[in-house]
Amino acid sequence: MKYTYRTQGVCSSSLEFEIEEGLIHGVAFEGGCDGNLKAVGKLVEGRSAKEIISVLDGNLCGDKPTSCADQLAKALRAALDREAEEA
């Protein structure tokens, strides 16, 4: 299923991704640090959403209380929660 998540407290404004059978595909951020966020997308491609949540959750950017990677973890958690509710 394809998801769009509006980020908060970071330079990127939103992100999109798909989860198929618990695996992440096609992560794309709108705005933010282009090269770094493309790298994040490549690093998480095909990996378990649960694993990536555990790795990225709580990652901070400078003095901000979150980061784009942390926002991805939040988005993945919300998507998994939504899938569980719909099941």
- For the segment 42-70, what is each residue's pLDDT rounded down to a tens digit? 999 999 999 999 999 999 999 999 999 99
| Domain assignment of residue 61, given as a range | 2-86
Report phi then psi at 34, rounded to 5: -50, -55
pLDDT per position as a tens digit, 8-49: 999 999 999 999 999 999 999 999 999 999 999 999 999 999
Determine the distance from the C-alpha atom of residue 49 to the mean position of all C-alpha atoms in its chain, rounded to a whole number. Answer: 9
- The CATH number given to whatever domain includes residue 79 is 3.90.1010
Number of domains into which the chain is organized: 1
